[in-house]
Amino acid sequence: MVYAVIQAGGKQYKVEEAQELLVEKILGKKEKDKIEFKDLLSGKKVKAAVLGEEKGDKVTIFKYRPRNRYRRKTGHRQVYTKIKIEKID
């Protein structure tokens, strides 16, 4: 079983061929585009295809200070790029 460690969006992922995973949004890439990563362990080339973009789960941020009538509620949904690893050279 061949695997590689790639870096995308400041995070490292251990990937195998035909694996699908969500990485932080890759700017300028659309569906069916091809991306090339470099293996951090051996320097091999890792070829991947973009499958689209998805939004993650909503995270609720609630700030509260007692006795001051201070309440702030906001939310955030991170955008991810879904990729499929095609080949590890």
- Residue 61 pLDDT > 90: yes
pLDDT at 67 over 90: yes
Buried b (16+ CB within 10 A) or exposed e, 47-73: ebbbbeeeeeeeeeeeeeeeeeeeeee
Tally of helices (H runs) and strands (E runs) in the chain: 0, 6
Confidence (pTM): 0.82
Compute the average pLDDT of residues 36-55.
Answer: 95
pLDDT at 50: 96
Output the average pLDDT for the chain: 95
Percentage of the chain lying above the pLDDT 90 cut: 93
